[in-house]
Structure 1
């Protein structure tokens, strides 16, 4: 590795977003400032590989580690860089790209690569659910159920996700939750609960328009039980960034959240589903991840 340049590792998920990336090193070679950076490339081969590569890279002489993929790939890499002196950068290649959109990182690969040359590092908050880190959004209820079902679906992409959503939503029932936020207790029946560190799921669909990655708080977004006829209203509010004014959604800010539900069930962390138990504990870790942003 060069002693005169910043060493930068690109961790590339070759299948994220269903987009080909075999030509990406050539594109990086064209648009990255080679006088400033010495690039190395690593392609992931299985789920969890990005995490392994990031953990190994964190111990080595890299100045910056770039996650190339969607929110799941970013989560794997970022989770190993919390409290690190390494800077995380993002080239978004997911289907939703929620965190990248919030940070105003270009979705165009050439522009995202060019941003690495001029971007500014910023410390952002990390969130943790039962010891597992997330950076954009976590959730339970319908969105976690849908993420879990979609993970087993052969068809990928936004169109397939929406089609599956319309199918699942007709049979999904709201669940009871006991929620404690910074010591204050709430009992709610909810269609879904999202824990927002940033404002949106992805694709500019906003659940918590006022959320910030740097305020030291999480926003607990409780979507009330909802009839099918009101779903278009909620969808419109999400697309227009008005859910904080909605009677269909209650948003409560907090730093330490405990949630109890009737049974073990699906949750998602940055869109990636897993099954966890009845009791969930969520914490915020302020100013804990150094990430390259669009100045």
Structure 2
């Protein structure tokens, strides 16, 4: 029987975790009678994307992201439409998509899932020419992602520190939304476009979102008094954000967000500038993920 060739793309800095023993662990847990692993380490932005594109040309049977949502985004963006499945060993700060898919946070358990080699087709979303698979956002969370990208202190604690530092200073902004042909004008603290329900760390912004329903959930978080912050956090971690009076969720397939000034958007936690008008669409079941 011909062994399946799997490329493990390792992000050495994701989640602030050392991965020096990862290769050894793969050789201990992966079924080497069925799979032939290769390891490559990323060393610059977009390197995971480049390595995944090479894997398609070299006819690998799967590419595994060893990192967080940003690493998954790069590899998934390369694999969309290729038919080659994406595997995930969660090593990020939030691991939103992996948590939603039920992929274990434990390395050995995640590798045992890869041994099963079962995959599911998930929806993807496209913002202009860039893909995202979990959540895109504009407003406060994009500002957090932009600042966090330049922090040296990584991991969930570092992310929380960035949130706290920005929270009291951030001002809501005005947006015009066009969702499936209908126009909405909103002043919002932030707007999240969700393919899956959660940011990561089990914080659910769109509790009813699904990665295989062909629809995105546009979550508008309106301006809220700071004294209600504990309740907002409770809603996030209790899967009841849609019950908050400050949260409005609008489903859609074709979405355009117009912002007044120039501000970053994040795609799966990675900040970028896509201009003042951002067009987003859903691509049903465009990526296979091993889970």
- Give the TM-score band, short-chain normalised: over 0.9
> Which shows bigger deviation, 223-232 or 134-143?
223-232
2:205 is aligned, of 204, 207, 223, to 207
How far did 1:39 drift? 0.7
Corresponding position of 2:234: 236
Residues 8-58 of structure 1 deviation map (CA, whole Å, 9 limit, x = unaligned): 110111111111112111100000011110111111111111111011111
Q: CA deviation at 1:276?
A: 2.4
Secondary structure at 2:19's aligned position in 1?
Answer: coil
Alignment check: 8 A CA contact 2:93 2:154 kept: no
CA distance in 2, matches of 1:28, 1:150: 30
Which residue in the other structure is 1:38 paired with? 36
Are the equivalent residues in 2 in contact too, given 1:84–1:290 (CA < 8 A)? no
Post-superposition Cα deviations, 1:220-273, rounded to whole Å, max 9, x if no partner, equal 000001111111111100010001222110001000001111122111000011
Q: Report the Cα offset of residue 178 of structure 1.
A: 0.4
Once the two structures are superposed, residues 269-289 of structure 1 have per-residue CA deviations (whole angstroms, 9 ceiling, x without a partner) of 000111221101000000100
Matched, 1:286 2:284: yes
Equivalent residue in structure 1 for 2:245, among 244, 247, 266: 247
**Which of 8, 11, 18 in structure 2 is aligned with 1:10?**
8
1:101 Cα deviation after fit? 0.3
What SS does the corresponding residue of 1:42 show, helix, strand or coil? Answer: strand
Q: Is the 8 A contact 1:51 1:77 kept in 2?
A: yes
Q: Which blocks of at least 5 consecutive residues in structure 2 are unaligned?
A: none
> Which residue number in structure 2 is paired with residue 60 of structure 1?
58
Matched pairs, number? 291
TM-score for both structures, normalised by structure 2: 0.98
Matches within 5 A, 1:1-295: 4-293=2-291
Distance 2:207 2:256 in 1: 23
**Conserved in 2, the CA contact under 8 Å of 1:264 and 1:276?**
no
Cα deviation 1:61-110 (Å, max 9, x = unaligned): 21111010000000000000001121110000001000000100000000
For 1:97 and 1:68, locate their aligned partners in 2 and report how far apart those are by CA, in whole Å. Answer: 11
Deviation, structure 1 residue 133: 0.2
Distance in 2 of aligned mates of 1:150 and 1:7: 35
Secondary structure of the corresponding residue to residue 64 of structure 2? strand
Unaligned runs of 5+ in 1: none
Moved over 4 A (4+): none
Q: Distance in 2 between matches of 1:161 and 1:19?
A: 14
TM-score normalised to structure 1 length: 0.97
1-structure distance, mates of 2:81, 2:100: 21
